[in-house]
Amino acid sequence: MPKDPKVPLKSVLAAIDKRDKNFYNNLTAEQKKALGMWIMLRYASSVQGKSAPDYIFMVNELFNKNFYDLTKHPELQWLLLSACGSGKVEFHPYIKPPTAKKKKNKTENFIATIFPHLKQDEIELLLKINTKEDVKTLAKEYGYDDKTIKDIIG
């Protein structure tokens, strides 16, 4: 049976908290590949406790600031991340990753194609302040036929 390359999250976070600079070097090659620095950034920046403000400041200043510039240097990333620790084990709650944007309906897609510079909230506002008849008139002005307008607006 192949050896599991995963590294327990609890041990990684404890190594960060205790400033263990050699933790990364002691991992196997497979474990180093399995260690996701982006997720470690998320956990390290979600610390709770008395030392949380200093911890979060250090993570932001040392590790997060040039994170994508250093992706080809994982050992350097580990050293920067371990320098952020408070010296004692801290609590790191789970932070849910951002969810995908909600899907637009056909009318919102129509407005987005006509006005590509508008953001989602601006499109929603435009549809709130205008009636369906206003949107139908706009579609006719842009050369849409009646069948397409009915499909888009209803």
* Model confidence pLDDT, tens digit, residues 3-54: 566 888 899 999 999 999 999 999 998 988 888 888 888 888 888 888 889 9
Q: Is the pLDDT confidence value at 68 over 70?
A: yes
The one-letter amino acid code at 62 reads L
Contact 77, 52 (CB under 8 A): no
Task: Report pTM.
Answer: 0.60
Token readout for 104 is 């637009």
d(CA 32, CA 48): 27
Question: Any bridge partners for residue 91, and if so which?
Answer: 48
Q: What is the pLDDT of residues 121-144, one digit of tens each?
A: 899 999 999 999 999 999 999 888
